[in-house]
Amino acid sequence: MDRPLTGIRIVALEQYMAGPYCTMLLADAGAEVIKIERPGSGDPRRSIPPFAEKDGTRKAGGFMAYNRNKKSFCLDVQRKEGKTIYLNLIKSADVVVENLRPGSTDKLGIGYKDLKVINPKLIYAAISGFGRLEGYKGPDSDRPAFDIVAEAMSGIMHLVGFEDKPPSWTIYGMADVYTGLCTSYAITQALFQRVKTGKGQFVDSAMLDAMISLNERMVMLYTMTGEEPHRGRLKHLYPRGAFKCKNGYLAMNVPDDLVWSRLCKSIGRDDLIDNVKSKTGTARAANSDFLGPIIEEWLSKKTRDEAEKILNENGVPVGSVYTAKDIFESEQVKARRSLIEIEDPDVGKYQFARGPVMLSGAPQIETNPAPDLGQHTHEILSSILGYSDKQIHELINSNTIGIKP
């Protein structure tokens, strides 16, 4: 049985995180992903720590995590012959994914306008900070951006942290990963539409757009009430946050009065259900200094597992705040196979996060390790493009391509 995207060829002019995460998901879905890399250096993430090391070989963990199931093709597209090779490869491609600086591919003559002439069915997905689609360009569209910029300009950083502290970022690479996920979703839509129309199209994916869509609550509050949300506790909802137990923290959210009544009964404080200080979400938020110690007092006598069991059984959804060690030891994570083991022939076995969804009608994903730099250059040139060994040797000597030693 094939994976959903088996038979789809994707050429990836990608680096760092957003593009690689997008194509990793598509590779997991069965697509053939050909990753174009600079001869000699490759994706910059190959040189960013932490590293896995064994017997003198060193590989970057971040690169290993986001580049499984891909092929590495070392090709200098800035050279005349390299550009010719790239354009020939595009003739047989279904999708291009690119997250280089806006305008760089157009300057080289390998942007969407150039490629759709030689392959009208091509789907070209461009990931950028601020979007590139004609008719939707803004004053920032040509700017480069890393993910923290999108977090900041989407308003998310304004909400993260404490009232008396500066804005804070969420987790490393969240905007990159979420934008990559959104882009993979958009590409599958474009592939489905191509079945109907026979035509390719330009997929425009902006990190700022992705993060604003993720920050839906801020947008909703402002348009409905004119209210400017701030860091810290919410004005109309409490309890929400991490509360200390005997051996760690428990995450809790009480969205309405029904769940509040269940919480009160669980901790033996039925008197708080209709108390004027706690009968509504707004009242609870205003009196969090009164209610917080009551909740924490009950939790202080319970371990995370004890509190979690009691509250979940009584209809109060809670969860332990996991450390990395907790994740790797979690029976739920193991049952879901949320972590997949990948064995690299040089540095050994490691576990990485699986993609976020599973399909009942598709086989398990492949677990091929991230490729070495130029590992598949010869294969692609000979098997796909028909180059002879002599021609390949000449390309190596001219530094147009790179091949794994």
238 closest CA partner among 272, 206, 194, 212: 272
pLDDT of residue 211: 97
**pLDDT average, residue stretch 299-327:** 96
Distance in angstroms (rounded) separating the CA atoms of residues 348 and 345: 6
227 within a domain of the structure (yes/no): no
Mean pLDDT within 33-62: 96
Task: Tell me the CATH number at 81.
Answer: 3.40.50.10540
Do 43 and 162 fall into the same domain? Answer: yes
- Pair 280, 384 in one domain: no
Phi, psi of 401 (to 5 degrees): -130, 165
Res. 230 pLDDT band, cuts 50 70 90: confident
| Same domain for 315 and 383 | no
pLDDT digits (tens, 9 = 90+) for 124-144: 999 999 999 999 999 999 999
Do residue 74 and residue 157 come from a single domain?
A: yes
Same domain, 387 and 262: no
Q: Are residues 291 and 175 in the same domain?
A: no
Mean pLDDT of 94-115: 96
| Residue 148 pLDDT > 90 | yes
Q: How confident is the model at residue 163 (pLDDT cuts 50, 70, 90)?
A: confident
Task: Establish if 223 belongs to a structural domain.
Answer: no
Span 80-103, mean pLDDT?
Answer: 97
Position 271 in a domain = yes
Average confidence (pLDDT) over 222-233: 87
pLDDT above 70 covers a percentage of the chain that reads 100
The pLDDT of residue 54: 95
Domain hosting 270: range is 240-326
71, 404 contact by CB (below 8 A):
no
Whose CA is closest to 97, among 6, 194, 188? 188
Mark whether 38 and 149 lie in a shared domain: yes
- State pLDDT tens for residues 10-32: 999 999 999 999 999 999 999 99
Q: How many residues does the chain have?
A: 405
Residue 342 lies inside a defined structural domain of this protein: yes
Q: Are residues 101 and 244 in the same domain?
A: no
Q: What whole-number distance in Å separates Cα of residue 329 and Cα of residue 324? A: 9
- Is pLDDT at 105 greater than 90 in this prediction? yes
Measured CA to CA, the distance from residue 243 to residue 194 in angstroms comes to: 50
Mean pLDDT of 76-87: 97
Supply angle C-alpha 44, 211, 29, rounded to 5: 60
Q: Are residues 100 and 158 in the same domain?
A: yes
pLDDT for position 55: 94
Amino acid in the structure at residue 121: K
Listed range (81-85, 269-273, 358-362) with the worst mean pLDDT: 358-362
* 90 and 188 inside one domain: yes
Domain final position from 261, 291, 326: 326
State yes or no: is 176 an active-site residue: yes
pLDDT tens for 166-222 read 998 888 899 999 999 999 999 999 999 999 999 999 999 999 999 999 999 999 989
Cα first-last separation, the chain: 35
Cα separation of 354 and 375, whole Å? 24
Q: What is the CATH number of the domain that holds 322?
A: 3.30.1540.10
Residue 233 clears pLDDT 80, i.e. is over it: no
Angle subtended at Cα 222 by Cα 220 and Cα 226, rounded to the nearest 5 degrees: 140
Judge contact between 277 and 221, C-beta under 8 A: no
Of residues 76, 176, 209, 344, which has the active-site annotation? 176
Peptide bond into 50 cis (omega under 30): yes
Residues 72, 189: one domain?
Answer: yes
- Number of domains present in the structure of the chain: 2
